[in-house]
Amino acid sequence: MSPSRTILVTGGAGFIGSHLCDALLEAGHHVRCFDNLATGKRENIAHHSANSRFRFIEADIRNAASVHQAVSGADAVLHLAALGSVPRSIDDPLASEAANLLGFLNVLEACRHNGHVRLVYASSSSVYGDSKALPKREGEEGRPLSPYAVTKLMDEQYAWMYHHMFSLPVIGLRFFNVFGERQDPNGAYAAAIPKFILRFLRHESPQVHGDGQQSRDFTYVGNAVQAMIAGMQCEHPAAFGRVFNVACGERFALLDVVNELRDGLAIADPAIAQVSIEHVAERPGDVRDSLADTSLAEHVLGFKAGYDLRAGMERAVPWYQQHWK
């Protein structure tokens, strides 16, 4: 895809979306950032306010008319808007259903009726559910363990159907445990790594659910951005209507990650070395182990993670040290 295209990023003021907006603008594109600010933040995109190639649209993907208007004239849609978090979906399944499924259908319809606009959308590793297989491979899904996982699995089914029934050029990306700068460490639904970092910075014990030996394929946000752009640019005929794992292809026990974060943060603040770890009850809906096979994404999309876990933490941790206490 050539420079100076018009790209709509839904959820563009969010954690991943704002990084994606940064990359697209740096590449010379015109960016429409669509967000209702339910979980996104104005400060994530404030540095683009004077950029003539950037436009912020405060609107909700549950509103079909707003979505159609935003998609009109776009060359591609990169869809990240969603209500994330497994615990959030268990607490309020209807909210997750409305944002993640109805909202996604609005995006599909808008792309279909505005000239079959290229759509790259975020799915989730949660669709692998109770599958015990490692690594996780596309086509070997288990049963979903949370309402959030159900919505993402249904998104994939709708995307496949829209491609095969309406020839919509759509590509899905299953993100595995994305972390990095701008990820909010506060609140009941905060992700693990930023929450651990903040508690260490405040000399508070991070809480680990269960025994801490559950493993994750933690994926730095730069890899997620790289994959979205690869999907936007891909012309491989086997890419459309399919979904691809996006991860590093390595897994780490949660307890090992917590200990490594403590060691790294203690270099600047030796008192952190004395902060203990608190074990709490396991969370319902959590997958025990997660490890991605990314060979399909590498072969079809040309995606290969540019950052491993440690390289990602080397970029993310200083940001939290600067912005949070």
What amino acid positions are annotated as catalytic residues?
A: 148
Residues 6+ apart with CB under 8 A from 36: 58, 59, 60, 61, 81
How far out from the chain centre does Cα 129 lie?
Answer: 17
Task: Please give the biggest Cα pair distance in the chain.
Answer: 60
d(CA 44, CA 14): 7
Residue 18: CB atoms within 10 A of its CB come to 27
Specify whether the CB–CB gap between 125 and 247 falls below 8 A. yes
Type of residue at 80:
L
Question: Under 8 Å CB-to-CB from 279, ≥6 apart: which residues?
Answer: 207, 208, 209, 210, 211, 212
| β-strand partners of 31 | 7, 54
**Cβ-based neighbours of 248, under 8 Å, separated by 6 or more:** 176, 217, 218, 219, 220, 223, 292, 294, 305, 307, 308, 309
The token duo for 70 is 């935003």
Of the chain, the end-to-end C-alpha distance in Å amounts to 42
Q: Spell 147-177 as b/e; 16+ CB within 10 A means b.
A: bbbbbbbbbbebbbebbeeeebbbbbbbbbb
